[in-house]
Structure 1
């Protein structure tokens, strides 16, 4: 049977692919990076000036924090988280041009305490090593309360600004009260501006109600930069960085323990 030119070309192509020698298969080898591996001189020429610049920048002083600002441990309030959420809320207002009633971040994103003494640029990078950005959304008052509730069940209360939270009763029978920071009631139907992070808005850290946020406005500003700007402003004003007052969350020790043991329901 005589093949048509197109068919002959097709079979010839298959035959050529079959006859081409296949590259040998080599087994991957894990090579640990240790001091035994010498630095590449050409790479070091590029890295060294950059490393020196970064080191100098990280050592730049910003503000004095005589008491330090801490995350708190096992029932202690997260004053560092309060400060971060305050900065978020107040930084968001001029960006959207209207009052921002509520802000929330996640305790897991705060990776270091601010120790007493001189706060430097590197300290803020240790506190906030991520590129999380500030986002402003709209929620109803009922949704704000639900966000607080989800944060409470998740970690005993995620750092918030603009509200006060009180849990009363026992782990078996508890009541939750959430008011604005001045003690006034939250109108469940009112629509308010809320500042959060792009990470939480995308559904991170099990606060699903934040994903319901409407009219999202991504500021393009990282939380780290806001904290750096705030520390710089306080330092230039000749003031000290002090921790916010406690009392935003009032939760009995027995309920805190039940939350940690994942036996608390609200």
Structure 2
């Protein structure tokens, strides 16, 4: 179909109200970002930090024992520009039907995940800090404490990654897995709305949670 096809007034009358309602919903302003949340190819990014900070906050609401969150650069589809943040912007960031998943992982599995992050030049995380040297993870800390290989940890992510998406096998065979119906984008919107309710902008910063050491 193209401009040479005449508009059908009957069809227009049916879908126009729905189109206007959808546009109104997508244009709803839910928050504000004082900085441009960029992705880039660096080990740590503003967009990645925002995404995983939101994921961790929402994961803790479901299970207060959740200690860290993880995503991938490829899973975050776009950036958020400085200024008002709308529902539509969040849909653009996460257009997929991915839902929250909480995994209980051994210390060894966390180490495997950290090495995946290192090998791929850094990925979005929250609740964990690490350094990368020669594509290997080192100085891994959770809640300010060194990674203990004898302990288990709870991580919040989403079903696509838990199922091995993005060539990720570090999350295979968790000690325990719990899937939840809430979509990732719903969690992002809730997080932003709560900031706005508390009269706070999206105050995301680069804090050195993932560093590449020469």
TM-score above 0.5, yes or no: yes
Distance 1:180 1:201 in 2: 22
Q: Distance in 2 between matches of 1:77 and 1:175?
A: 16
8 Å CA contact 1:90–1:100 kept in 2: the answer is no
The answer to whether structure 1 residue 100 and structure 2 residue 61 are counterparts is no
What is residue 167 of structure 1 aligned with on the other side?
Answer: 132
Contact residue 33 and residue 81 of structure 2 kept, 8 A: yes
**Alignment partner, residue 183 of structure 2:** 222
What are structure 1's unaligned runs of at least 5 residues? 1-32, 255-266
Give the conservation status (yes or no) of the 8 Å contact 2:69–2:155. Answer: yes
Q: Give the distance between the partners of 1:222 and 1:109, measured in 2 at CA.
A: 14
**Could you give the per-residue CA deviations for residues 18-47 of structure 1, whole angstroms, max 9, x where no partner exists?**
xxxxxxxxxxxxxxx322233443332222
- TM-score if structure 2 supplies the norm length? 0.91
TM-score, normalised relative to structure 1: 0.75
- Equivalent residue runs for 1:112-191 within 5 Å: 112-154=78-120, 156-168=121-133, 171=134, 175-191=136-152
Match of 1:197 in 2: 158
Residue 51 of structure 2 is aligned to residue 84 of structure 1: yes
1:175 is displaced (CA, Å) by 4.9
**Pairing partner for 1:74 from 38, 41, 45:** 41
Cα distance between partner residues in 2 of 1:205 and 1:178: 25
2:156 alignment partner, SS class = strand
SS at match of 1:107: coil
Superposition map of 1:42-61 within 5 A = 42-61=10-29
Q: Structure 2: which 5+ runs fail to align?
A: none
RMSD of aligned residue pairs (Cα, Å): 1.8
Distance in 2 between residues matched to 1:99 and 1:233, nearest whole Å: 21
Bigger Rg, structure 1 or 2: 1
Q: CA deviation at 1:234?
A: 1.0
| Structure with the largest fraction of strand | 2
Q: 1 or 2, which has the higher helix percentage?
A: 1
Q: Could you say if the C-alpha distance between residues 49 and 176 of structure 1 is closer, same or farther in structure 2, counting changes exceeding 3 Å? A: same
